[in-house]
């Protein structure tokens, strides 16, 4: 597993991975993490990409999902704040694998790649190394569940969870964050789905599943 920033021999440093799983997938009617693209479950695709930039990779999930995700053969971390959404997943991953840096990724971005993750890391390195770096889609939507976080973000995360403040963007607002535009990613194939595409409905899944990337 690779922990380098970029492909040009830049400084290497330890990054732990957090694979954020769980969630109710209400609109889909099935667990989005297990939907297959090119014969591979979405969560396995994300795990493989994350494993290229982070080690170890920990699956943050509730007790209900643990057996379903055991096929990944990755360590799992149960939420200490059950029912508190993705913030609890990030917290569980940070708590389970002590590190200076963490790269988080949600399990339902089937087209995210290691190259796109490295693009975020490269932008972070050039920016002066802030506490966090997350991507912004071409439509201007921030994807806070995919990105780099320093351990210094953990205290504010614990406060937010303890106070029941569960909006990820509210937590992000209290951090020094680099927002990385998707447009700058040179590795995107013309016509291919965005690496930030989140599939939420059966109709969206049928369309996305036609791609073999």
Q: Is 159 annotated as a binding residue?
A: no
Q: Is residue 9 part of a domain?
A: no
Q: Is residue 7 part of a domain?
A: no
Q: What is the pLDDT of residues 143-153, one digit of tens each?
A: 999 999 999 99
pLDDT at 50: 98
Q: Is residue 10 part of a domain?
A: no
Q: Is 79 annotated as a binding residue?
A: yes
Q: Is residue 201 part of a domain?
A: yes
Query: Range of 97's domain?
Result: 16-184+191-208
Q: Is 23 annotated as a binding residue?
A: no
Distances (CA, A) of 188 to 13, 120, 146, 182: 26, 14, 17, 9
31: left (phi over 0), alpha (psi -120 to 50) or beta: beta
Predicted confidence (pLDDT) at residue 198 exceeds the cutoff of 60: yes
CATH of residue 33:
3.90.550.10
Number of Cβ within a 10 Å radius of residue 48: 14
Structurally, how many domains does the chain consist of? 1
Q: Is 176 annotated as a binding residue?
A: no
Q: Is 100 annotated as a binding residue?
A: no
* Percent of the chain as helix, strand, coil, to the nearest 5: 35, 20, 50
Q: Is residue 8 part of a domain?
A: no
Predicted confidence (pLDDT) at residue 201 exceeds the cutoff of 60: yes
Number of Cβ within a 10 Å radius of residue 125: 16
Q: Is 128 annotated as a binding residue?
A: no
């Amino acid at each position: 597993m690779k922990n380098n920033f970029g492909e040009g021999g830049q400084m290497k440093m330890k990054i732990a991975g957090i694979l954020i799983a769980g969630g109710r997938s209400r609109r889909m009617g099935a667990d989005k993490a297990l939907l297959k693209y090119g014969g591979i479950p979405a969560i396995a695709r994300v795990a493989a990409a994350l494993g290229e930039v982070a080690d170890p990779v920990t699956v943050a999930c509730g007790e209900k999902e643990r057996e379903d995700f055991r096929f990944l053969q990755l360590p799992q971390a149960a939420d200490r704040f059950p029912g508190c959404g993705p913030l609890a997943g990030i917290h569980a991953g940070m708590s389970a694998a002590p590190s200076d840096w963490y790269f988080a990724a949600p399990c339902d971005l089937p087209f995210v790649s290691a190259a796109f993750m490295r693009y975020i890391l490269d932008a972070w390195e050039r920016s002066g190394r802030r506490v966090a770096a997350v991507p912004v889609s071409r439509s201007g939507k921030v994807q806070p569940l995919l990105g780099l976080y320093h351990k210094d973000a953990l205290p504010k995360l614990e406060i937010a969870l303890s106070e029941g403040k569960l909006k990820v963007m509210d937590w992000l607002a209290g951090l020094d964050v680099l927002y990385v535009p998707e447009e700058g990613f040179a590795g995107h194939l013309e016509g291919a789905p965005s690496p930030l595409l989140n599939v939420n409905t059966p109709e969206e899944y049928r369309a996305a599943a036609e791609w073999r990337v």
